[in-house]
Amino acid sequence: MSNKLFSSIDMGGQTLGNRMVMAPLTRNRAPDCIANALMAEYYGQRSAAGLIISEGTQISEQAVGYPATPGIYSQQQVDGWSQVTDTVHAKGGHIFAQLWHCGRISHPDFHAGELPVAPSAIKPAGDAFTYEGLKPFVTPRTLEASEIPGIIEQYRHAAACAGNAGFDGVEIHAANGYLIDQFIRDGSNRRTDHYGGSLENRIRLLLEIVDAVGSEIGHNKVGVRISPINAFNDMSDSDPQSTFDHIASSLSGLGLAYLHVVEVSMTGETDSNFDTGRLRDRFDSLYIANGGYDGERAQQAIASNTADLIAFGAPFLANPDLPERLRTGAPLNTADQSTFYGGDAHGYTDYPSL
């Protein structure tokens, strides 16, 4: 395999050692919503990635949607994440925090009985993962227009906390059916104010969050993740190509670090009607491709310039030394799905390196 995948690249003034990104992977190992020493060990083991993107990290108590997921809005959480970033940096790695608000993909159990919030009061199909097991999603409460500046402020504050915790930047999670994605797609946004209706209105929240976060920590330290064809969390859009073409164009020219595109559905399928190349063409900074890539496909994508970096999920989960394994053609460990969510070191920090 030629070495393009393993060559360095400049990202917003930071030099990454290779083009391999560890994708954000929810692992539910933060029982008190605070990053801990076990998490520091886990991320430190994977520091050979050119860039690590942290698991989804909630920006406020309102943003929580799953058990035992970490936050980035209190001093205790900053201190917890500092262990992680110190460990990654000591091993020469780079790490961004993924800023996350689950919106309607939550449950009153997480909010002292209060309803989750969303752009519109539309109940998603499916079940919430709660501390007491699966419970049906509820109909969320519609965010008042007067509340939206407060949401944007939560993102800005979380970005400031991420900087204080030593993160090299942040990724704004606008994918996979969570709050920003709920505003973007017309299947979940039925608003008639400045944040609904037209395409410009539906992407307004994303752009205002990007502006607030970029003004706080520098736009060159901000990435955005989108998932144009992913129906996960009961998502749909009447014209995804136009919607996400417009997002890619609107994010261009802002000096962002990257656009991170989940090119597949949650079950790994592509959509022949959607052309991710159009997003690549419209966006003027680095393009991270995500979606079931193996080493060979990743190398082809980099060599053909259809992507600048490639994000790997389960392969990084099971192979802390994934870059070395791909570089040398070594066999890969198989990920144990039964230990993905929750638990202890087993299936987390005990995967063998070469």
For 175-188, the DSSP string reads: -TTSHHHHHHSTTT
Q: What is the pLDDT of residues 238-278, one digit of tens each?
A: 999 999 999 999 999 999 999 999 999 888 899 999 999 99
Instruction: Give the per-residue pLDDT at 268.
Output: 87
Q: How much is the average pLDDT of 85-97?
A: 98
In this structure, what DSSP letter does residue 144 have? P
User: What is the pTM for the complete model shown?
Assistant: 0.98
Taking 70 as the threshold, does the pLDDT of residue 1 lie above it?
no
State whether the Cα torsion 145-146-151-156 is positive or negative.
positive
Mean pLDDT of 34-44: 98
Q: ∠ CA(326), CA(330), CA(333), 5° rounding?
A: 90
Domain range 4-339, CATH class:
alpha beta
* Active site positions, annotated: 178
Q: Are 310 and 288 in contact, with CB atoms under 8 Å apart? A: yes
179/341 Cα distance (integer angstroms):
22
Give the C-alpha separation, 72 to 24, whole Å.
Answer: 15
Q: Where are the domains of the chain?
A: 4-339
Structure confidence by residue, pLDDT tens digits, 186-220: 999 999 999 999 999 999 999 999 999 999 999 99
In this predicted structure, what is the pLDDT of residue 267? 84
Q: Which residue has the tokens 């919607």?
A: 243
How much of the chain is helix, strand and coil, in % rounded to 5? 35, 15, 50
Structure tokens at 244: 């996400």
Q: Could you give the residue ranges of the DSSP H alpha helices within the chain?
A: 37-45, 75-90, 148-164, 179-184, 199-202, 204-217, 240-251, 276-282, 295-303, 314-318, 322-328
Structure token pair of residue 16: 């990454």
- Give Dmax over CA atoms of the chain in angstroms: 56
What does the alpha-carbon distance between residue 279 and residue 263 come to, in Å, rounded to a whole number? 11
**Predicted confidence (pLDDT) per residue in 155-164, tens digit:** 999 999 999 9
Residues 6+ apart with CB under 8 A from 269: none
Task: Give the pLDDT of residue 2.
Answer: 53
pLDDT of residue 3: 80
CA angle 209, 210, 213 (to 5 degrees): 80
Check residues 1 and 8 and name the one with the higher pLDDT: 8
342: tokens are 């929750």
Average pLDDT of the segment spanning 173-178:
98
Mean pLDDT of the chain: 97
